[in-house]
Chains A and B, each alone.
Chain A
Amino acid sequence: DTGVSQNPRHKITKRGQNVTFRCDPISEHNRLYWYRQTLGQGPEFLTYFQNEAQLEKSRLLSDRFSAERPKGSFSTLEIQRTEQGDSAMYLCASSRFGTGPSYEQYFGPGTRLTVT
């Protein structure tokens, strides 16, 4: 169990550029979640996948955001035409599908995005 990994850890981009983040979940986990955390706030849910299906999207996920999990393994989160308000930490988490202890979400280290 190598844990959830995210790349890159830091990204600085100019306003209007597109950025893509990658998340590799724990290998046997079939649920994958994306959260956004701004300074001084708790993480806010963006979207989640069960295997390759995207089952829920938050209203926070505007048309400029798109997430994929093409083979039910790693996931990517793309932000098009970045805005300064997109600056945040983007966290990925994974879990097994089911109840009880398998409900627990394991978080990656996050990708910190700074839009200048």
Chain B
Amino acid sequence: GAVVSQHPSWVICKSGTSVKIECRSLDFQATTMFWYRQFPKQSLMLMATSNEGSKATYEQGVEKDKFLINHASLTLSTLTVTSAHPEDSSFYICSARKGQLGGELFFGEGSRLTVL
């Protein structure tokens, strides 16, 4: 199957700093990628839809200035958590959609963010 890779897999940062997480589709082009966050024992919460070459579409309640998304190429989307605080600590997962019909999603391994 298709491969989606995230980096870093885990990161620890100090409060107030910014952290960038990369999501790459390794063997297919993805015009659309999705970013999720997941708290312990909870489901994946869709944060935003990342569109190549245009602005991301954020879900209700997600601060676009807090979570900056850039989708500069067909294989790379980045999520930057700006001025991170402890409440931003979470598991962030990206996914990329291969093809249009049926819309099978391929997920990255996830990135564990811990803000001290």
Q: Do A and B bind each other?
A: no
Q: What residues of chain B have their CB less than 8 Å away from a CB belonging to chain A?
A: none
Residues of chain A touching chain B, judged by Cβ–Cβ distance below 8 Å, are none
